[in-house]
Amino acid sequence: MAIWVVAARKSGATMAAARCLTRRNMVNGGGSCSAFPKSHSPNALAGKKEKENSSALLGFWRFKSTKASAAAAVDQLYSSDEDVTNNHQGLDFPGGHVSYTHSLNFISNSSTQNRVPCYRVLDDNGVLIPAAGGGSNAGDFQFHHHQQPLISQQTALKMYREMVRLQVMDTIFYEAQRQGRLSFYLTSTGEEAISVAAAAALTPDDVVMPQYREPGVLLWRGFSLREFADQCFGNKDDYGKGRQMPIHYGSNKLNYFTVSSPLATQIPQAAGVAYALKMEKKDACVVTFFGDGSSSEGDFHAGLNFAAVTESPVLFVCRNNGIRVDGNDALAVYNSIRAAREIAVKQGKPVLVEFLTYRVGHHSTSDDSTKYRPVDEIEYWKAMRNPVNRFRKWVEGNGWWNEGEESELRSATRKQLLQAIQAAERTEKPSLDEMFRDVYDETPSNLREQHEQLREMIKRHPGDYPSDVPV
Amino acid sequence: MTVRDALNSAIDEEMSADPKVFLMGEEVGEYQGAYKITKGLLEKYGPDRVLDTPITEAGFTGIGVGAAYHGLKPIVEFMTFNFSMQAIDHIINSAAKSNYMSAGQISVPIVFRGPNGAAAGVGAQHSQCYAPWFASCPGLKVLAPYSSEDARGLMKAAIRDPDPVVFLENELLYGESFPVSAEVLDSSFCLPIGKAKIEREGKDVTITAFSKMVGYALKAAEILSKEGISAEVINLRSIRPLDRATINNSVRKTNRLVTVEEGFPQHGIGAEICASVVEDSFEYLDAAIERIAGADVPMPYAANLERLAVPQVEDIVRAAKRTCYRSSSLAATA
């Protein structure tokens, strides 16, 4: 059973709703959905009422009559004593209790009042939003929203530094691609808070299955600028041995799964990894990231459904660059992931977290996003709603950071990056035998033969082959 | 022992030996398996190790691949490999390629199994043979058992193998019974991946086949022997890697080749075998290679048409005779 994390608006009214994702397949013997929202009246599902026209009326009448007969049939099966909770008549299905309603209301998302509100900690100027009431209860977990969020100066500064380094890294690698030194690149511009702050809220044992816009996690966990450059240039020091396009980073030791291009495939795979962790009884969870576009994929639905059914500890993090949590507020990201992780690990329940954000950069170096969105919209978000600036204001406001340190960090990072790029560019590419390794666990004889044949061919016709590839 | 029991016992023994092995698929648990291959395993190992999945091949294949990424050893069942099409991205782009793309950091010890190819009267979308599709992809191993001995030995090998394995069974073979030796019944029995088996030795013509067609080839060999043609029947067992050495050695001995498969002819297994023999043993061939395959049409449903769309024993006999007479006669009919 999955819990959807929602929390306070800045107006202070704290409302937390836990909603159970209904399972499609009731036949499964797995866990049953027993907890149901306590403060949940049938009319909470009300959206706009459909305009009455003849077809709707017909539908309405049809609905009424089948409901009446079904209700009558079912009443005989279930004793009415059990059904009465809070004066709501209801029915016990194998998946849980469902209350009846006498009003026909269609759930419509065009009504803004019923949208799940968006959690934030810092306002647009990086100032802590005062909490009214001091805390929020969401049934299964305590979400403390005091004046001081649960973050130390050391963690906050490290978060800020990594967000800055991510920005600088993105700028320089993007330029390198434009100069033709890299074949491809993809920035996290506008979404720096999400990957860095989320990583800060996790432990090193938590397994990360990224989409491709989360190098912030690697930065947090200690991947060096040189290691990033090695992968982008596909040289022999690349952990991927030059087998993939740039930005397809992967690191076993940092528990970060190698990036894979097809969208959303990591979502059900994350449920599988979480299942394995659960079997191991490890105090760790899986965190998988994806964009809102990927959430259209069938894999998204299957992954969430299955994780809920198997009760596996996985966080599904949606970078909605189109609620939930203000993804441009580093502290909100940190808090929400901390809380979500608690639920996932302690209770073995999967959690879906949606970060609202804005992708300032183009999708990738193969994209010109001004073709499908207005330039002033991009400029606005870049200037006025920048997550790095916002967090900077808070950190500076606390007296933990200043202009001098800022320019020093940026220039030092820039220098390191340029050195890393120069060194990575000059490093040898992987040797020829790497092309044939790792197809299988052990290199089969036919590939060894092909390697030999290719070696011979290169020896006989050296002019036809690149001279910088060690044979 | 029937092929069904052979598969069931192999999976059972491997699950018992290694707690990381687990089963998932539609109806593998409470229903005892759509074809009863996994009968009794839910009772024995519990719902943590035998998972009834929701109806989403893309979903549960993805989950299986993820579990394999983290060190478990899933056996994912497709009710038929025709349904694996819904999950083929996970099989090819994730399972097959991850070890290579991650430079050895992510290994995928997963087994995909289920019935493949034509059954009886199930129509176009339930009858395709997917051996050529999977066997063309580097990173996968593809196995196709015929007898109960094959089923036991190759299943155990597949489960123990650290690479992703596609295990192509055949629905019509599940109920067939084969004699098995004590060695085969032992729980440590295992067959090597990549080795074909010479089911019947001969000296006049080599016939290669896999899965159900091995039985047909053996029947054809019987008929041919009465007409003075001694056919050598090779049970491929392993489609990828293909045992090119055994095939070529046999052709160098007999000088004639007939390849048999149930699937579509273009880009099929026979095409690869032909290429291999022409490349390696060209001078040894005394006749053009004959390829027997299913008709190049989606499988029709009507029983009479279905029979005409798949190879029959007589087709194999005629092809073998053609290879034997071609050098002396232009008559292509027998």
| Phi, psi for A79 (deg, rounded to 5) | -75, 140
Specify the pLDDT at position A28. Answer: 34
Mean pLDDT of the B190-207 span: 97
Whole-Å CA distances, A182 to A174, A335, A470: 9, 36, 21
Residues in Cβ contact with B83 at an 8 Å cutoff, skipping those fewer than 6 apart? B57, B114
| Phi, psi for A307 (deg, rounded to 5) | -65, -40
In the block, residue with structure tokens 């009319």? A43
> Which of A306, A442, A449 is most worth mutating to test chain B (most B CB atoms within 10 A of its CB)?
A306
Q: Do B53 and A306 touch (CB under 8 A)?
A: yes
Q: Do A438 and B59 touch (CB under 8 A)?
A: no
In the block, residue with structure tokens 């009504």? A111
Question: Residue B330's beta-bridge partner residues?
Answer: none
The band of A387, judged by pLDDT with boundaries at 50, 70 and 90, is: very high
Q: B90, B126, B149, B306: which is the annotated catalytic residue? A: B126
Q: Please state, in angstroms and rounded to a whole number, the distance separating the CA atoms of residues B260 and B271.
A: 10
CB nearest B101 (choices: A252, A258, A279): A258
Beta strand extents in A217-369 (DSSP E only) = 286-291, 314-320, 325-326, 351-356
Give me the amino acid identity at B44: K
Q: B13, B26, B57, B199: which is the annotated catalytic residue? A: B57
Query: Annotated catalytic, A366?
Result: no
8 A C-beta contact, residue B62 and residue B54? no
Least confident of A108-112, A145-149, A266-270, B203-207: A145-149
More confident residue, B11 or A86: B11
Does residue B227 register a pLDDT over 70? yes
Q: Which residues of B touch A312 (CB under 8 A)?
A: none
Specify the pLDDT at position A262. Answer: 87
In the block, residue with structure tokens 């994730």? B94
Least confident of A162-166, B194-198, B323-327: B323-327
Specify the pLDDT at position B74. Answer: 97
- In percent, how much of chain A has pLDDT > 90? 49
Q: Do B93 and A303 touch (CB under 8 A)?
A: no
Scanning every residue of chain A, which has its alpha carbon at the shortest distance from the alpha carbon of B90?
A: A265
pLDDT 10s digits, A123-142: 888 888 886 434 443 433 33
Estimate to the nearest angstrom the gap between the alpha carbon of A170 and the chain centroid.
19
pTM of the complete model: 0.77
Does residue B250 register a pLDDT over 80? yes
| DSSP state, residue B310 | S
The 10 Å Cβ neighbour count of residue A134 is 10
Q: Which residues of B touch A240 (CB under 8 A)?
A: 101-103
Q: Which residues of A touch B64 (CB under 8 A)?
A: 272
In Å, how far is B84's CA from the nearest CA of chain A?
14
Q: Do A260 and B93 touch (CB under 8 A)?
A: yes
Specify the pLDDT at position A72. Answer: 52
The vertex-A129 CA angle with A127 and A131, nearest 5°, equals 150
For A414, the 3-state DSSP assignment is helix
More confident residue, A81 or A413: A413
Q: Which residues of B touch A444 (CB under 8 A)?
A: 194, 241
Does residue A41 register a pLDDT over 70? no
Least confident of A74-78, B113-117, B162-166: A74-78
Q: Please state, in angstroms and rounded to a whole number, the distance separating the CA atoms of residues A307 and A271.
A: 5
The 10 Å Cβ neighbour count of residue B297 is 11
Specify the pLDDT at position A129. Answer: 84
Length of chain A measured in residues:
471
8 A C-beta contact, residue A277 and residue A255? no
Specify the pLDDT at position A119. Answer: 85
Residues in Cβ contact with A322 at an 8 Å cutoff, skipping those fewer than 6 apart? A292
> How, if at all, do strands A325-326 and A351-356 pair?
parallel
Mean pLDDT of the A307-323 span: 85
Q: Do A265 and B90 touch (CB under 8 A)?
A: yes
CB nearest B101 (choices: A244, A276, A299): A244
- Mean pLDDT, chain B, rounded, equals 94
Does residue A464 register a pLDDT over 90? no
Specify the pLDDT at position A101. Answer: 79
B contact residues 160-219, partner A, Cβ 8 Å cutoff: 161-163, 194
Q: Do B93 and A444 touch (CB under 8 A)?
A: no
Mean pLDDT of the B224-244 span: 96
Kindly tell me the number of DSSP H helices and DSSP E strands found in chain B: 13, 12
pLDDT 10s digits, B21-77: 999 999 999 999 999 999 999 999 999 999 999 888 999 999 999 999 999 999 999
Specify the pLDDT at position B152. Answer: 97
3-class secondary structure for chain A?
CCEECCCCCCCCCCCCCCCCCCCCCCCCCCCCCCCCCCCCCHHHHCCCCCCCCHHHHHHHHHHHHHHHHHHHHHHCCCCHHHHCECCECEEEECCEEEECCCCCCCCCCCCHHHCCCCECCECCCCCECCCCCCEEECCCCEEECCCCCCCCHHHHHHHHHHHHHHHHHHHHHHHHHHCCCCCCCCCCCCCHHHHHHHHHCCCCCCEEECCCCCHHHHHHHCCCHHHHHHHHHCCCCCCCCCCCCCCCCCECCCCECCCCCCCCCHHHHHHHHHHHHHHHCCCCCEEEEEECCHHHCHHHHHHHHHHHHHCCCEEEEEEECCCCEECCCHHHHHHHHHHHHHHHHHHCCCEEEEEECCCCCCCCCCCCHHHCCCHHHHHHHHHHCCHHHHHHHHHHHCCCCCHHHHHHHHHHHHHHHHHHHHHHHHCCCCCHHHHCCCCCCCCCHHHHHHHHHHHHHHHHCHHHCCCCCCC
B contact residues 236-255, partner A, Cβ 8 Å cutoff: 241, 244
Specify the pLDDT at position A97. Answer: 82
Q: Please state, in angstroms and rounded to a whole number, the distance separating the CA atoms of residues A394 and A329.
A: 10
Q: Which residues of B touch A250 (CB under 8 A)?
A: 102, 105-106
Specify the pLDDT at position B325. Answer: 81
Q: Please state, in angstroms and rounded to a whole number, the distance separating the CA atoms of residues A131 and A145.
A: 6
Biggest alpha carbon–alpha carbon distance for chain B: 65
Mean pLDDT of the A390-405 span: 95
More confident residue, B286 or B330: B286
The vertex-B143 CA angle with B141 and B148, nearest 5°, equals 150
B contact residues 26-85, partner A, Cβ 8 Å cutoff: 29-30, 47-48, 51-56, 58-72, 74
The two structure tokens encoding residue B331 = 């008559």
Specify the pLDDT at position A195. Answer: 95
Q: A82, A175, A428, A456: which is the annotated catalytic residue? A: A175
Does residue A43 register a pLDDT over 70? no
- Mean pLDDT, chain A, rounded, equals 78
Query: Annotated catalytic, A297?
Result: no
Does residue A67 register a pLDDT over 70? no
Q: Identify the helix (H) or strand (E) that includes residue B16.
A: helix B3-17
The band of A118, judged by pLDDT with boundaries at 50, 70 and 90, is: confident
Mean pLDDT of the B123-139 span: 95
Specify the pLDDT at position A88. Answer: 57
Please indicate if any CB of chain A lies within 8 Å of the CB of B301: no
pLDDT 10s digits, A320-369: 875 478 889 999 999 999 989 998 999 888 999 989 889 999 999 989 99
Specify the pLDDT at position A191. Answer: 94
Mean pLDDT of the A264-272 span: 94
Specify the pLDDT at position A142. Answer: 38
The band of A90, judged by pLDDT with boundaries at 50, 70 and 90, is: confident
Residues in Cβ contact with A84 at an 8 Å cutoff, skipping those fewer than 6 apart? none
Does residue A52 register a pLDDT over 60? no
Q: Please state, in angstroms and rounded to a whole number, the distance separating the CA atoms of residues A236 and A423.
A: 12
* Burial bucket for residue B36 (CB in 10 Å: 0-12, 13-18, 19+): middle
In Å, how far is B246's CA from the nearest CA of chain A?
14
Residues in Cβ contact with A469 at an 8 Å cutoff, skipping those fewer than 6 apart? A429, A431, A432
8 A C-beta contact, residue A339 and residue A200? no
Nearest to B147, CA basis, from B184, B188, B178: B178
The 10 Å Cβ neighbour count of residue A49 is 12
pLDDT 10s digits, B61-76: 999 999 999 999 999 9
Mean pLDDT of the A395-423 span: 96
Does residue A410 register a pLDDT over 80? yes
Specify the pLDDT at position A150. Answer: 67
8 A C-beta contact, residue B256 and residue B241? no
Question: Residue A353's beta-bridge partner residues?
Answer: A317
Mean pLDDT of the A58-66 span: 35
Q: Do B30 and A29 touch (CB under 8 A)?
A: yes
Q: Which residues of A touch B138 (CB under 8 A)?
A: 439
> Which of A249, A252, A299 is most worth mutating to test chain B (most B CB atoms within 10 A of its CB)?
A299
Residues in Cβ contact with A366 at an 8 Å cutoff, skipping those fewer than 6 apart? A184
Q: Which residues of A touch B107 (CB under 8 A)?
A: 441
The two structure tokens encoding residue A43 = 């009319």
Specify the pLDDT at position A110. Answer: 61
Mean pLDDT of the B151-165 span: 98
Nearest to B145, CA basis, from B219, B213, B232, B206: B213
Q: Which residues of B touch A27 (CB under 8 A)?
A: 30, 52
If you count residue pairs, one on A and one on B, with CB atoms under 8 Å apart, how many are there? 157
Scanning every residue of chain B, which has its alpha carbon at the shortest distance from the alpha carbon of A265?
A: B62
CB nearest A243 (choices: B30, B100, B162): B100
